[in-house]
Structure formats: C-alpha cells, structure tokens
Structure 1
Amino acid sequence: MSFVFIRKRSKNYIVYLEYKDPDTGKKKQKNMGSFEKKRDANKKLVELKDAIYNDDFLAPNKTILKNHLMDFLEKYKENLSITTYNSYVRICNKYIIPMIGDIKLEDLRPIHIQDYVDDLVGVLTPQTIKIHINILNLALKRAYKLRLIRENPVEYIEVPKSRKFKNKIYNQEEMVKLLNVSKDTPLELPIVLASGLGLRISEILGLTWDNIDFDEKLITVDKITIRSNGKVVLKSPKTDSSIRTISAPTEVINMLKNHKRKCIELKLKGEIKKNNNFIFFDKNGEPIAQDVLSRKFSRFLNKHNLDHIRFHDLRHSHVTLLINSKIPIKVISERVGHSNINTTLNIYSHVLKEMDKEASDKISENLFKLS
C-alpha cells in the first residue's frame, strides 16, 4: 500500500511517496515535490492521496514484461496441465519475449500488443494467436491486481477472426478403403481404434492392457500420453468426461486379442526386453509420442496414394459416420468423451445442417407431395 506525507527540510516542505518496491519487496521513498509554502505542499498531498484512493496512481516500478510473464507462469502452473504449461512457456520464449518482452510494464500500451498480434496474422492461425493473447491477458490481469499497471492493455486488442472451415474427413467408402490398405500393417490397430471407436491419438497411445475387458467387450479410457521435458509420459485426461468406458465391436476386440498374443510371443522370445503393460510402445518399451504416430500415418497415406488427412480426422470421420447413422447425439457425445452435447453439436454443426436439409426433403417427399 502506498501513502504520502510531508516532511520539512531546511526552509522547504517536501512531499514524499512511500511504496513497496515490487522487485525487492523493500519500502522506498520518492520525492514528489518541494514547496516553500506549507499550503502548497498540502495541496500536492491532497492530490496524491486522491490519486491513490482512486487507483489512478501507481508506485514506480521497473519490472519488464518478460520477467513478469515467467514469474506469472511459474506461480500459475498449478492451474495448468503439464502440456498447457509447457506450451505457454514455449510461446513466451519463442514469440512474446523476443518481440515485446523488454518493454517495461508501466510503458506497455495497447499499440504494442496490437502490433504484436498484427505481425503474427498470416504466420500463425487465428486460433493459435488467441492462445498468445490469452497468455498475455492472464499475466496482465495479475499485474493490474498487483497495481503494477493502470489498466490491462489486452482489453483493447482486436482479435483476429477465426476462419471457418470443415475438417477434411473420410466418408464411409474412404474409411473402408483405408482399413483394407492398412490390414496386417503396424498402423492397422491404431487406425481401427481411431476410426472405429473415435479415440483421440493421445488416448490410443495411453492404453494399457488392463483397460481392455475382453469378456464384456469394453474399453476404458483413463490415461493419455504427453511429452514433458523431452520424455513421453502418461497422465490423466484433461477433463472428467474424457475418462469413460465404451463398448467395442467384436472385430476390434478380436484384433486386440491377436495383438496381445503377438506381444506375448515377442516377450517369450526375448525380443521385448522391458516388461510393460502398454498396448503400443517403442523399441525401448516406452510409450510413443503423438507426433511420431502422426508422421507415420502421413507417410502411410502418401505411400498408398490416399487423400491426406490428419490422424485426428479419423475421429471426426467416426463421429460423422455415427451422426449419419442416426445415433443420438447424447450417446455420441459420451462415447467420444465430450464434456457435453453442445461441444458435439458445435464441432459437427455442418453435418447436422446437412441432415436438417435431408429431413426437410423427407418431409416434402412424404407429406406435401402426397397431398
């Protein structure tokens, strides 16, 4: 808390501001003016008290943005997943700090951040730029609460508009073709789990054998893989809704049985040296990184002259197939681990619009054209 007072020095009255240095935490005093007459000093004192009371005055500080950012992330990390925290730190080190990190907090203006955002347009997607803005907003909100800045400059920033687009997905015919081409290859089972069950790539790679109930034909998703400090580790999913148990087709269960049988045979031969419970693992017996599988999938599509899609788009293809098969949205939402049906409705709105048009055509055909 800052406060002001008058002290007489020689023949003059000096108004002092006392405040706590935000960097050292020590109390400091600053000369705010020297006056020959006490009434002039009192007038200055009242002005400063009003400014402090109205939060219009801030204690001087030399904190620069990059130091505040890293301090904020370190203290805020317990509210973030490991993946999100690492992503935020990477964005700060690669973009924010090199471009605007040396600006003092008290000198930071909306134009600095707007110029930063404008420079990224065309380089990064609008969705990614919004993550940058969110990091700055969270950090500067804290700075405002600590009275290091007069206002949060992020509030005045024009956010780039997201371009609406449809994910490239496979229709039923293309999915069947992919399954046939991948048969008896190392990618067959991951592709089946993504396209046949709608699992995320991190969920597939996080599966262990105790997640499979062969008798009841159930698969439980309760772990995902992430990369942390250069190492792939397992962790709980981000949301409770992502933890789920779903029924699997007999064909998928049989494929898992065959895969487990092969893993046991390799262990007996000594070709799998590390005793682990992973369904998918690398040559060292460790879990596989998501980007490794994504790159393998991309090369697989190129090799077999198949239309390029992301591995994650197999999940979108799966959900689209369920919607077109008239499966209730609530059932679909729960199977794929969405937090609520609104998430499913928003992501697949274009599919539902097509079905709405189809419903209109059906009404026209079955009702009005018969009258």
Structure 2
Amino acid sequence: MASFTKRNGKWQARISWHDENGKLHQKAKSGFATKSQAKDYATKMENELINGVDIAADPVFADYFKTWYETYRLPKISKSTASNYRYTSNIISDYFGTMRIKQIKRSTYQTFLNEHGKNHSLGTMKEITTKIKACVKSAIADGIITKDFTFNATLVHDKARSRNPEYLSISELKQLIQGLNSELRVDNVNPYIVLTAIYTGARLSEIIALTWKDIDYLHRTIRINKSIDYRYSTGFKPTKNESSNRTIRVNDYLLKILSQLKANRTPLVFARTPESFNAHFPQTINDYLKSVMRQCGIVKRDYTFHSLRHSHVAFLLSQGIDIYAISKRLGHSNMTTTSNVYAYLIDEYKHKLDDEIEHKLAQL
C-alpha cells in the first residue's frame, strides 16, 4: 500500500508491506516534483514486491560481494583461489566505493570495464568479470535486484599485456620429447613431469599430486582426483573444480617411463624421496623446461609449463580430435570453456579445415 504527502513543495511516496512473518516494513522516498512522479515510483516498488524483490535491501555492492564470496565460495576453495577473490573484492571496493548495488546500471558496469581494462590483461579481466557475474546472479536470486547489469557487457583489455600462450609444432614436440628422453634418470623427476604434461595435458598441480594408486597399467589410464597446493605448501587439495576429476587414457610409452620412478619407493609418483612431499614449484619446473628447450634449439620467449597444456590441445586439434573429447580430457565443465580458452587455436585450425572443405566441394 502506498501513501503520498507533500512537504515544502515536494512530494514523498511511502510504501508499506508485511513480510512472510507478518512484520511491517516501510520504504519512503522524497523529492518528487509532482504527485504523478511519486505514484510512478510507488507503482514500480509495488511491482518489484510482487515479483519477489526485497525492496528494503540495498547493500553496498562491495559489502555484498565480500559477504557473498565468504559465505558461498570461501568454505570450498583453496587459499590460492581465495586470494583471487580477495583481489577482486579489493578492486570492487576501490572503484565502486560505497555505491549501492541497486545504483549500478549496465552503463555503470561497462564504464568500470572500460577504465579497468585499459591497464590489465585479458586473463585478469576474465578472472574479475567471472566472479562479478556469479555475484550478481546471487543478488538476483536473493531478490535484491531484478536485472543483471553485467548482461552483454563488452570485455575490455590491454592487448599489449595479453598474449596467446605459445605452443609447439609437432616437429618441435618431437624435438623436446627426444631431449627429455636423454635426461631420464630416477634421481631427476623433472623430465618425467614434463613428459606427463605433454601426453596428458594435465595441470602441474594435478601431475605432482599423482600417487601410484592413480595409475592403472591394466587399462592404461591416469586418474586425476586431487592436486597439490604448491603455493602455500598445505599438501593435497581438491582439483580446480568437480569437472576436473577425470580419467585420462595414455599411451604405453608414458606408462613405461613412469614405471622407472617406482625405484624411488615413494607414495607420490614424482617425489624424489619419501620425505619430499611438496618440492615442485612452477619457477623450478619452468627453468628446467626452458633449459631443455634451449638444448633442443627451440626458441619460445614466453613458453611456460602451462603452455604444454596448449601444445597438447594444438596437437589433438591437428589430428582432427573432436572438441568434446578434448574438453573432457582437459577437465573442463563444458565445451564452451574449452572453446573460449583455446579460441585462437580453434580459429587457426578452422581456417585450415575451411581450405580442405573448399577443396572437397570443388570436386563435386
């Protein structure tokens, strides 16, 4: 129910309603030049009440985001992922300040993307916007807002800071594998780790978490069901998400060389000694990979261990492997994720396939 009063030449609209427990609530807004404007506002508020919107709730966006991720995300994520949420939370707080969530329009959000994206890479902007979108969906589910102000927003980024990860050609992969084979010895697990990445496309944290129980020699599979938190040295942790739990088929060659490491008599496949549980760090592995690549005459300025995952995808695409099969092998939740992350590779091979299609059609 709405009531209207005129004070000092301006109109005020007051909306009253009872919640599901019978408690009376009121919301008032003043400053309307005409009674008609006040009625329009009251009608809008009443319609929102009918649609289940909590018109009394209008938290500061930064506060809502912090409460949301601490309630729904923090209990089930790693320390590393939690730091990414804190990073996004600080960015929201710095930019939006005390702006309330209902004040934010699509244009407001797009302006934020335009300004923040000028000095940040595509990867960073994707991380930030993914978290904000999830938070906004939660606010809609809570009945605080009715529209998604992130809808159809254009992602802006600094192209100079954003590079597609380099990947190796088939001939370069063969060179690298040959170089790694010459380094194989049980007291140096690094070449075994790199070879596992080449043949599986798995992440470093997943590979170094492998135990001998995860390797099935009979069915020629490797099971990914955990990872290692090498950043905070807390030991085992869950995989990146539920879809990352997967079983990967591998070739006999990889199984054969991995069996050499059984001589170390450790529960972990890639532990150097029974006591070394968490001795692998990205920089150590990256330095080793670059060293072997130099010895093989492969020059890639920005190539890192994670680039092996991209090389794995590039090779599978070159062999005509379906994107669905690749997505499952990588542990992505759906093909859309794979298509977005590896769009630059997919487009490259699409051009090659288009040429092949054109050639085939010319034969009709």
State the TM-score, normalized to the length of structure 1. 0.68
- Helix, strand or coil for the counterpart of 1:244? strand
Structural mapping, 1:308-327, within 5 Å: 308=300, 309-325=303-319
CA gap 1:106/1:353 in 2 versus in 1, 3 angstroms = closer
User: Counterpart in 2 of 1:36?
Assistant: none
Tell me the equivalent position of 2:287. 296
Deviations 1:316-370 (A, max 9, x none): 3234334444566666555554556777677342235325535765887xx79xx
1:118 aligns with 2:114: yes
Q: Which residue of 2 aligns with 1:178?
A: 176
Asked whether the 8 Å contact 1:225–1:287 carries over to 2, the reply is yes
| Deviation (angstroms), 1:180 | 3.4
Distance of 1:124 and 1:248 partners within structure 2: 40
Report whether the alignment pairs 1:219 with 2:222: yes
Kindly state the Cα deviation for residue 74 of structure 1 after the two structures are TM-superposed: 2.5
Determine helix, strand or coil for the equivalent of 1:128.
helix
**How far off its partner does 1:170 sit?**
1.2
Q: Gaps spanning 5+ residues in structure 2: where?
A: 6-11
Answering whether residue 62 of structure 2 is matched by residue 66 of structure 1, we say: yes
User: 1:237-276 alignment to 2 at 5 Å?
Assistant: 238-240=241-243, 242-249=245-252, 251-261=253-263, 263-264=264-265
- Give 1:90's match in structure 2, choosing from 86, 93, 97: 86
**Partner amino acid, structure 1, of 2:268:** F
CA RMSD across the alignment: 4.6
Within the candidate set 170, 175, 196, 1:193 is matched to 196
Asked if the contact 1:280/1:288 (under 8 Å) is kept, the reply is no
2:237 partner SS: strand
> 2:205 is matched by which residue type in structure 1?
S
Contact 1:81 1:238 in 2 (8 A): no
Tell me the equivalent position of 2:349.
Answer: 351
- The separation in 1 between residues aligned to 2:152 and 2:335, in whole angstroms, is 33
State the distance in 2 between where 1:146 and 1:345 align.
Answer: 31
Distance 1:213 1:130, change over 3 A: closer
For 1:54 and 1:61, the matched residues in 2 are separated by 15
The alpha carbon displacement at 1:208 in A equals 0.8
| 1:279 maps onto 2:273 in alignment | no
Is the Cα–Cα contact under 8 Å of residues 58 and 144 in structure 2 kept in the other structure?
no
Partners of 2:148 and 2:329 lie apart in 1 by: 41
Q: Secondary structure at the match of 1:54?
A: helix
Quote the offset at 1:71 in angstroms: 1.2
* Aligned counterpart for 2:128 among listed residues 132, 152, 164: 132
Bigger radius of gyration among the two: 1
Deviation at 1:188, TM superposition (A): 0.6
Q: Give the counterpart letter for 2:176 in structure 1.
A: L
Query: Is residue 15–residue 32 contact of structure 1 (8 Å, CA) maintained in 2?
Result: yes
1:52 lines up with 2:48 in the alignment: no
1:69 Cα offset (Å): 1.0
Q: Which deviates further from its counterpart, 219-228 or 186-195? A: 219-228
Pair 1:307 & 2:299 matched:
yes
Pair 1:49–1:228, CA change in 2 (3 A): farther
8 Å CA contact retained: 2:221, 2:250 = yes
Q: CA 1:290–1:340 in structure 2 vs 1: closer, same or farther (change >3 Å)? A: farther
Is 1:61–1:106's contact at 8 Å kept on the other side of the alignment?
no
Percent of aligned pairs with the same residue?
A: 18
Aligned residue pair count: 334
Deviates more, 1:134-143 or 1:49-58: 49-58
Instruction: Quote the offset at 1:73 in angstroms.
Output: 1.5
Quick one: structure 1 residues 146 and 246, their matched pair in 2 at CA, closer, same or farther if it must change by over 3 Å? closer
| CA distance in 2 between partners of 1:321 and 1:314 (Å) | 10
Indicate if the aligned counterparts of 2:206 and 2:239 stay in contact, CA closer than 8 A. no
How has the CA–CA distance of structure 1 residues 44 and 58 changed in structure 2, closer, same or farther, with 3 Å as cutoff? farther
The answer to whether the 8 Å contact 1:225/1:233 transfers is yes
Q: CA deviation at 1:210?
A: 0.7
Unpaired runs of 5+ in structure 1?
8-13, 34-40, 265-275
Describe how 1:144-183 pairs up with structure 2 within 5 A.
144=140, 146=142, 148=144, 151-155=147-151, 157-160=153-156, 167-182=165-180, 183=183
Question: What's 2:9 paired with?
Answer: none
In the TM superposition, residue 129 of structure 1 has moved relative to its aligned partner by 1.8
- Alignment partners' CA distance in 2, 1:325 and 1:141: 39
Alpha carbons of 1:330 and 1:303: their partners in 2 closer, same or farther (altered >3 Å)?
closer
Distance 2:141 2:219 in 1: 54
Spell out the pairing of 1:35-46 with structure 2 (5 A cutoff).
Answer: none
Distance 2:323 2:149 in 1: 41
The Cα offsets for residues 238-296 of structure 1, whole Å up to 9 and x where unpaired, read as 244751141322x32232121120x12xxxxxxxxxxx622234885334566345543
* SS of structure 2 residue aligned to 1:154: coil
